[in-house]
Amino acid sequence: MNEGNFEYRAAQKELLEAINQLRDLHGEPPYNELPEPPFCSFCGRSKKEMGALVEGINAHICVDCAGEARRLLLRD
Ligand SMILES: [Zn+2]
């Protein structure tokens, strides 16, 4: 993908805003720029921060979000 492309930059900005909204929900400080991928698709924290991420089809999940998902799934 061409990084000078306007649509690419707009998509990057949109992704950064979405990740910062997730980070805000989790009480994490916002990123100034996109972290180096991969990052958790649920909370936006990067592999560098979390140490490890589980990879799915077009998504990743960190240990905290996997634990939260497990609690939600087992609740009922
Ligand atoms: Zn996460």
Q: How confident is the model at residue 52 (pLDDT cuts 50, 70, 90)?
A: very high
Backbone angles phi, psi at 46, to 5 degrees: -85, 165
> Could you tell me the distance, in angstroms and rounded to a whole number, from the CA of residue 36 to the centre of ligand 1?
15
> Could you tell me the distance, in angstroms and rounded to a whole number, from the CA of residue 75 to the centre of ligand 1?
19
pLDDT at res. 4: 66
> Could you tell me the distance, in angstroms and rounded to a whole number, from the CA of residue 20 to the centre of ligand 1?
13
pLDDT at res. 30: 92
pLDDT at res. 2: 55
